[in-house]
Amino acid sequence: MIRLYMTHEGTEALGPGIRYAVWTQGCLKRCPGCISPKSRDLDGGYEMDELLLAQEILESEASGITISGGEPFLQAEALCSMIREVRKVRDLGVCLYTGNLMEEISGEWESQLLELVDVLIDGPYMEELNDGAGLRGSSNQRVFDLTGRYASEMHMYGAQGRKTEIYLSVDGSATIVGIPPVGMQGKVWQVE
């Protein structure tokens, strides 16, 4: 089972092409100005069979998967299973955001997950370094092209300007998918 904060079936705001976005639930860091504070509670969110998640991804139109959180590496084993299940059918690329530094990533499942990732964006969110650049939250975060799959699209990361998508629900709540522009954190980033 995997514990999730939310998923979104098709976004163009979280990496190359159309992506299936997965936000895992649970994070031990407490970055001031955290973009997604409701995703930090280790017991929050909801549980799902990771193989069912893989099936849902395969039924979508997504050309790739973006994984964020929460902290994805806290659920490395389930994410490995999910990605491998997807790739039995379609060789989808994976972009992953972690609050850890790449050098800090260790452990059997964590290392296996790293081997499955094409683009890694690492490091904690630092509010004072939020410069508005695309596809990352703050300038301390590094972007690693681990496999070359997205080599021709790496210019998107750190380029000026952010793309965000806002989805309104009938109950009046709003969800932003993407890295919110400077000053927007904590204002409309919520899923009720």
Binding site for ligand SF4 (CB under 6 A): 27, 29-31, 34-36, 39-40, 69-71, 99, 124-125
Shortest Å distance, C-beta 88 to ligand SF4: 30
- Do the Cβ atoms of 192 and 167 come closer than 8 Å? no
Closer CB to ligand SF4, 20 or 125, in the complex: 125
Shortest Å distance, C-beta 55 to ligand SF4: 26
Closer CB to ligand SF4, 29 or 149, in the complex: 29
What is the number of the residue whose Cβ is closest to ligand SF4? 99
Shortest Å distance, C-beta 68 to ligand SF4: 8
Q: Name the maximum alpha-carbon separation found in the chain.
A: 44
Closer CB to ligand SF4, 16 or 99, in the complex: 99
Closer CB to ligand SF4, 92 or 162, in the complex: 162
Shortest Å distance, C-beta 69 to ligand SF4: 5
